[in-house]
A and B are shown apart, each in its own frame.
Chain A
Amino acid sequence: MTHAVTQVSGPAVLLQRDDIDTDALFPAEFLTVTTREGMGQYLFADWLRNGNPEAALGAAARPVRVLVAPRNFGCGSSREHAVWALADYGVQAVLALSFGDIFRNNCVKNDVVAAQLTPDDHALLAQAGDGVVLTLDVARASVQLPDGRSLPFTLAPGHAEQLMSDEDDIARTLRFDDALLAHEARIARTTPWLLPPV
């Protein structure tokens, strides 16, 4: 994904429970897919079948652009499918008290903003309720409510730069090829047991 993301704006949906895991976001049953596209149809599939009302995302607001969640959102499995499903569904940002670390990195790789809120600011957004239109500014690390109030959020280090860049991640890293080659030469000199088998 290589689109520059500077702003996200749209209706938000509020999730109530802590520890929403990636198995809930994207049930294992669908993990036999071999592409990234069209995953939105599987978002919260088990919860929908179980009749869990929280899974009826956007009953109050469509298209859903922002999710607001409490603690440890996206914990559990490393499956990037959870983010592919959110993004395909239309979600461009998740605001939460905390995130699973792997999920958070998977978000930025797919141009989804994963922004951390303080408990006080989370409570303010929760009061605003389902369907409230939020506008996130990545460079300023702030989210604006319809009444003009602006709340700060925190992105993981490096994520703002990645979101706002349209350069391919791998191409950017390969600019460090000399340093990578030097490291590989250093392994051969100092820790030869870490060399790959030839």
Chain B
Amino acid sequence: MSTLFDKIWAAHVVARNEAGQDLVYIDRHLLHEVSSPQAFAGLAAAGRRVRQPGRHVAIQDHNVPTTADRLTRGASPQGQAQIALLRRNAHDFQVPLIDLDDARQGIVHVVAPEQGLVLPGSTVVCGDSHTATLGALGAIAWGIGTSEAEHVLSTQSLWLRKPASMGVEVVGALPAGVTAKDLALATIAQIGTGGGVGHAIEYFGAAVRALSMEGRLTLCNMTIEAGSRFGLVAPDATTAAYLRSRVQGPARTHFEAAVAAWQALATGSPDDYARHVRIDASRVTPRLTWGTTPADSASFTGHVADPATVDDAVERSRLQAALRYMGLTPGQRVDSIPVDVAFIGSCTNSRIEDLRSAADVLRGRRIADGVRALVVPGSTQVKRQAEAEGLDQVFRAAGFEWRESGCSMCVGLNGDQVGAGQHCASTSNRNFENRQGQGGRTHLMSPAAVAASALRGRMTDPREFLP
């Protein structure tokens, strides 16, 4: 018997070497301006070409400004130079480019599904660790380094040892007001930041089936925060319905045959996974992180950890350092943590359903004094859709800034940053020290929770604002 992952892997093995590594064919490679310059430079230096230019798509996202005047004013000379360099490399190597002024522009992991660029049963790589997001469509999708990107450009393949499999079964149903983000944080808290190392994680079970495609993208997105490069969900009717109107070219021509073939990809039985983890969806609550790893999370009714209660010396000193960095006291109630900045965006939570859920909390209300709040839609298409639904007016009226799309404050490369000592309620994926800006204190949570926390000026369970 074999798993979804096994079946996709087997269909992509080109060769095997003595060390037990497989040469895996790559169907789709996504590039962005930050991790690709040295890959193209390597190709140029060796006089190599791109093997199959049509299998690559370059998108400007990481350091792009999100201000309205961004086409004429860059965030920094270096950032502008990097954007110009991707433009030149895409031209020189004939790689399709979604440029800053393109109506399809946005965060690579938002744009790729939106444009039908990721298909079930395919392999997808990108020089970005959150590529696991795309596994939500039933693909093997993972993040790679720049040298690997150069290898893919040149050979359309990578050498890998097949990872072990882990099935994360989510039984039951998520309660009202509990989102895929909360499930992701609960999963990471259960298996740990290193729990998925060396494994490919498949999410399955009734609660996963019930997620929309956007919810699945959020869940798979944070797989890397549990140490696994790969997170995926078996394709089903939700997947086919999402893709039908989006696919292009050969995928459009052969779509019905493809849908039929995808049905055979599902994992045979839960016994096929090397490891099997069960999560009861009915017990998941809205969560937020209080520490400096994505596993440091609690319910909104919960407390910050108390290092004094931890026996392991390494873990105790890690917690002490985390609380010091975050400016928190041991055992403090998480709903007493103040909010200075509220950020809705990133490849985790910047899609239209995310914006709708935050707007539902904010409608007719105003954020607390002193809170700086911004919404950065995941793509220009998401932005236009939100504007068509009037969501931009809800956000603006509540006191949020309404921005152009990009990675923005998730990675803090484009000038959108959290100040030293400031607490940021953020829909992004990493709460590492200094991630959103020097000394910035990140608290990860769902879009509705960010909205609720911005309204109160302290960390707040979004269900308090739901009808």
Instruction: Tell me if B217 counts as interface (CB < 8 A to partner A).
Output: no
A197 within 8 A of B: yes
Contact among B12, B25, B157, B194 with A75 in the assembled complex (CB-CB below 8 Å): B194
Q: Known contacts being A23-B435, A32-B34, A198-B54, is A80 close to B146, with CB within 8 Å?
A: yes
Q: Which of B254-262, B334-342, B367-375 contacts A (4 or more CB under 8 A)?
A: B254-262
With an 8 A cutoff between CB atoms, is B11 at the interface?
yes
A158 neighbours in B (Cβ, 8 Å) = 17, 19-21, 159, 161
30 A-B Cβ contacts within 8 A? A31-B411, A33-B37, A50-B439, A76-B129, A76-B430, A78-B127, A98-B197, A100-B227, A101-B163, A101-B197, A101-B228, A101-B229, A102-B143, A105-B144, A106-B147, A109-B147, A157-B21, A157-B161, A158-B17, A158-B161, A161-B18, A179-B14, A187-B25, A191-B11, A192-B254, A193-B119, A193-B254, A194-B250, A196-B53, A198-B54
A110 at the interface (CB under 8 A from B): yes
Asked whether any CB of chain B lies closer than 8 Å to the CB of A140, the reply is: no
The reply on B151 being an interface residue by CB < 8 A is yes
Once the chains are docked, how many angstroms separate the CA of A106 from the CA of B127? 11
| A109→B194 contact, CB < 8 A | no
Residue B357, interface by CB 8 Å: no
Task: Please give, as numbers and ranges, the residues of chain B lying within 8 Å of A170 by CB-CB distance.
Answer: 46, 48, 150-151, 154-155
Whether A75 touches B227, Cβ cut-off 8 Å, given contacts A23-B434, A32-B34, A158-B20, is: yes
Q: Does B317 contact A (CB under 8 A)?
A: yes
Q: A29 to chain B: which residues have CB within 8 Å?
A: 412-413
Binary CB contact string for chain A from 178 to 198 against chain B (1 if under 8 A, 0 otherwise): 011011100100011111111
* Partner pick for B251 among A21, A102, A193, CB 8 A cutoff: A193
* Interface of chain B residues 9 through 63 with chain A (CB within 8 A): 11-12, 14-15, 17-21, 23, 25, 27, 34-35, 37-38, 41, 46, 48, 51-55, 62-63
Q: Please, how many angstroms separate the alpha-carbon atoms of A194 and B26 in the complex?
A: 10
The interface residues of chain A lying within 8 Å CB-to-CB of B18 are 161
Report if B360 contacts A (CB, 8 A): no
Rounded to whole angstroms, the CA-CA distance of A192 and B151 in the bound complex is 24
Report the bound CA distance from A68 to B281 in whole Å: 39
Partner pick for A34 among B62, B81, B150, CB 8 A cutoff: B81
Having A184-B52, A193-B119, A193-B253, one finds 15 other A-B pairs with CB under 8 Å, namely A17-B317, A31-B62, A31-B411, A70-B314, A76-B129, A77-B430, A78-B127, A99-B197, A157-B19, A161-B18, A168-B46, A169-B147, A173-B23, A182-B14, A196-B250
A interface residues, Cβ below 8 angstroms from B: 1, 16-19, 21, 23-24, 27-29, 31-36, 46-47, 49-50, 70-72, 75-80, 83, 98-102, 105-106, 109-110, 156-158, 160-161, 168-170, 173-174, 176, 179-180, 182-184, 187, 191-198
Would you call B198 an interface residue if the criterion is a C-beta within 8 Å of the partner chain's C-beta atoms? yes
Chain A hits for B63, CB < 8 A? 31-32
A104 to B439, CA, bound (A): 28
Q: Which residues of A contact B253 (CB under 8 A)?
A: 192-193
- Cα distance A162–B229 when bound, in Å? 21
A21 cross-chain contacts in B, Cβ below 8 A: 430, 432
Residues on A with C-beta less than 8 A from B79 are: 32
User: With an 8 A cutoff between CB atoms, is B156 at the interface?
Assistant: yes
Contact with A along B118-152 (1 / 0, CB 8 A): 01011000011100000000000011111110110
Identify the closest chain A residue to B63 (Cβ): A32
Bound-state Cα–Cα, A144 to B247, Å? 56
Closest to A71 in B: B194
Q: Does B151 lie within 8 Å of A19, measured CB to CB?
A: no
Which residues of A are found within 8 Å of B55, using beta-carbon distances?
A: 196
Contact A72 B193 (CB under 8 A): yes
Pairwise interchain contact B413-A193, C-beta atoms closer than 8 A:
no
In the bound complex, residues from chain A placing their C-beta under 8 Å from that of B121 are: 191, 194
A187 to B27, CA, bound (A): 10
Alpha-carbon distance between A31 and B83 when the two chains are bound, in angstroms? 12
A180 adjacent to B14 (CB under 8 Å): yes
Chain A's nearest CB lies how many Å from the CB of B339? Answer: 22
Give the distance in Å from the alpha carbon of A170 to the alpha carbon of B47 in the complex.
Answer: 12
The residue that A78 contacts in the complex, of B129, B197, B247, with Cβ under 8 A, is B129
A102-B21 in contact given A31-B63, A72-B193, A76-B129 (Cβ < 8 Å): no
Please measure, in the bound complex, the distance between the C-alpha atom of A78 and the C-alpha atom of B251, giving whole angstroms: 29
Query: Which residues of B215-257 are within 8 A (CB) of A?
Result: 224, 227-229, 247-251, 253-255, 257
CA distance A28 to B293 in the complex (A): 17
- A34 near B20 with CB under 8 A, answer no
How close is A179's CB to chain B, nearest CB, in angstroms?
5
A36, A47, A173 pick with most chain B CB within 10 angstroms: A173
